[in-house]
Structure 1
Amino acid sequence: MTANTNTATAAEVLVTATKSGLFPAVASAIDVEALVPNEPVALRELWPLLPETVDVPLTDDVMVPVLLFFQDGWPEIGTFAHAEVNWLPRRVHDLFGQDPVRVKEHLDRYPALRDSVLHVSQPMGGLGWRNAGPGMGLSVEWRSGSPPLMLADNKTFSDLGVACYRSADDSLVTPAIGSMATGLHPFLALWAVLLALSSLARYQPATWSKMIDVDRSPEANAIEHLLEEATTSVPATALHLLTTFR
């Protein structure tokens, strides 16, 4: 993996995956898709995929961040037909409101949610938006058959590509990046972001000094926050993945 650090802002740093090396090898070991080789990705796209940055974004135009995922069904046997997704940006609610078609088009940017349907209230058919931490939440369902006799269609995390991050209870869904078929696992997104930041510090020290100056850079607070959070999330996530896929 390489990082193009010839930029004045962290958000515009480009990260490019390669066909071989440690990054795709780790992705294969934990059974997830890596970034597509030779497709540069800007940090402004990767940063919102990190749960550590939900409260402290790098830019103020985030529309498709990582979403917190709660299954509702039979968690003891690992299947469910209903779930809640949280942390949807309030701007999504403001733009699409009670338009289920537009909301579903937005959720379809998350591969794990593409086969779901929005849960609507009866008899009015409204969407149940609710406040959920730093964003908004919605309910989704998986059903089979044709209306009005649609039946619950139980899914598993593996079926959908839901990512478990720091623990089995820390469930997340992410958008696809570039031409990926699935959402990028947050651990791989964190890897790419930290590589880019370390490359800035090593190869562009003058630019890096400006980026982390809280009196001069609008990105400094977000960078400082992520680096502090990473000291705990990196070992916790690595340990969880090692024990899960050993």
Structure 2
Amino acid sequence: MYSDLGTDQAWERLRASRSNPPGRASTGTRRRTYAAALEHAGQMFRAAAVVDPATRPLQVFYGLSQAGRAIAAASWSLKGQDWNLESHGIKTTGFHLPFPDIEIRTDSSGTQGSFVRVSEALDSPVWGTDPIRLEDVWDLLPPNQGYPLTTRDRLIPLFAGDVIVGDYAHPLLSVPVYDIPDRVINAGTREALADFLTAYPAVAQHDSYVTTRALSLGSEAPPDYSRLENGIGGLTVNWQMPQGPATTTERREHLRSMTRPYAGERYFLPVLSPMERELHPLMAWWAVLYTLSMLARYQPATWIKLISVDDSQHALPIERLLERAIKHLPLLIADAIAEVSS
């Protein structure tokens, strides 16, 4: 459900912010770091746009890494020297494994690595020494929904449609939730839906959802799924508002508290084990691009084979991911700066 972004407008936002940096980046060393980091990021992304996939992961990742320094500099929550990033804070192993099974780990919480500190600023988890597979993080990115790495069952972002509004305050927040997998819809049972939603705590805590209204089944009637014209499946889900009857504005704010932003839209994200909460989309990009950059830099023969359309089923998904990175990340970076500095 994602849409392509106004990349040029996002860069304009970022460049305009340098004359009056937001948050804690308004003065001193943090201000100088903010401006320099965004300049470096812009140059890295421009370089990435004119090279092919053989080296593109290096420019894109290091552009994002530099932007992370601007995010940290602007963050209100990173005090003292916590904003001053050291090392990557993330690592990959298992390059001998199939591409989807490459393992990603992070440094522990509270350390100075870039991934750790930017995650802290964005209220996103780190997971330490327990590895997460590349494929699982890959699937967290909305533009990758059409580019799976394997045929395994996937946990993908669920697109949150707009709040269904009424003419008066209402105790329920009602939202159509899309991108429910065919395997769940085809099963057609309440049990299949409940099992799937265990990975999506915010959705699993719903009050109710639209059912087929089978009178003989009452409250046990199965979910009444719908499909958009493009075949994407959805279901209208209801949550109780914490304060009781609420205005449309209050209901939309409650939806925001349960979802993560991406490209001007909102998504329910799964919580991957061993994480304790959902990964911020910018940090999912960070983990995937770091992994690709390490392959390109330290395993060049493996990388060249992976991006060969004659040899690798993953070549086209990798190409599309890197194209989307150049288009999508500028807005995600600009939104992240606004998020941490507000």
Q: TM-score, normalised to structure 1's length?
A: 0.85
Aligned mate of 1:113, from 189, 203, 226: 203
Give the unaligned 5+ runs of structure 2.
Answer: 1-89, 216-220
The answer on 1:43 being equivalent to 2:140 is: no
What does residue 243 of structure 1 align with? 338
Q: Distance in 1 between matches of 2:211 and 2:203?
A: 16
What does residue 127 of structure 1 align with? 223
Q: Which moved more, 1:176-185 or 1:127-136?
A: 127-136
Matches within 5 A, 1:144-223: 156-157=254-255, 159-160=257-258, 162-167=259-264, 170-223=265-318
* Superposition deviation, residue 190 in structure 1: 1.1
What does residue 174 of structure 2 align with? 82
What does residue 91 of structure 1 align with? 183
Spell out, residue by residue over 1:151-194, the C-alpha distance to the aligned partner (whole angstroms, 9 max, x if none).
7785714542x001222xx1111111113222222221111001
Spell out, residue by residue over 1:119-160, the C-alpha distance to the aligned partner (whole angstroms, 9 max, x if none).
224344342212244642112111379xxxxx7785714542
* Superposition deviation, residue 22 in structure 1: 1.3
Q: Tell me the SS of whatever aligns to 1:189.
A: helix
- Amino acid of the residue matched to residue 10 of structure 1? F
Q: Tell me the SS of whatever aligns to 1:88.
A: coil
Larger Rg: 2
What does residue 25 of structure 1 align with? 117
Aligned-residue Cα RMSD (Å) equals: 2.6
Q: Distance in 2 between matches of 1:238 and 1:221?
A: 25
Q: Distance in 1 between matches of 2:96 and 2:234?
A: 35
- Amino acid of the residue matched to residue 70 of structure 1? G
* Superposition deviation, residue 9 in structure 1: 2.9
- Amino acid of the residue matched to residue 120 of structure 2? S
Larger proportion of strand: 1
Contact 1:58 1:223 survives alignment (8 Å): no
What does residue 192 of structure 2 align with? 102
- For these two proteins, the number of residue pairs brought into alignment is 233
Q: Which moved more, 1:82-91 or 1:209-218?
A: 82-91
Give the unaligned 5+ runs of structure 1.
Answer: 146-150
What does residue 148 of structure 1 align with? none
Q: Distance in 1 between matches of 2:291 and 2:205?
A: 34
Q: Distance in 1 between matches of 2:142 and 2:334?
A: 17
Q: Tell me the SS of whatever aligns to 1:92.
A: helix
Q: Distance in 1 between matches of 2:334 and 2:238?
A: 32
* Superposition deviation, residue 90 in structure 1: 1.2
Q: Distance in 2 between matches of 1:144 and 1:166?
A: 26
Q: Distance in 1 between matches of 2:254 and 2:165?
A: 10
Q: Distance in 2 between matches of 1:80 and 1:239?
A: 33
Matches within 5 A, 1:221-240: 221-240=316-335
What does residue 80 of structure 2 align with? none
Q: Tell me the SS of whatever aligns to 1:15.
A: strand
Q: Distance in 2 between matches of 1:7 and 1:173?
A: 33
Contact 1:15 1:40 survives alignment (8 Å): yes
Q: Tell me the SS of whatever aligns to 1:72.
A: coil
Contact 1:81 1:141 survives alignment (8 Å): yes
Larger proportion of helix: 2
Q: Distance in 2 between matches of 1:185 and 1:216?
A: 33
Q: Distance in 2 between matches of 1:113 and 1:230?
A: 28
What does residue 14 of structure 1 align with? 103
Go from structure 1 to structure 2 and tell me whether the alpha carbon gap of 1:217 and 1:90 turns closer, same or farther (over 3 Å shift). Answer: same
* Superposition deviation, residue 15 in structure 1: 0.7
- Amino acid of the residue matched to residue 11 of structure 1? P
Contact 2:125 2:276 survives alignment (8 Å): no
Q: Distance in 2 between matches of 1:13 and 1:177?
A: 16
Q: Distance in 1 between matches of 2:97 and 2:257?
A: 41
Aligned mate of 1:63, from 132, 154, 169: 154
Identity of aligned residues (%): 27
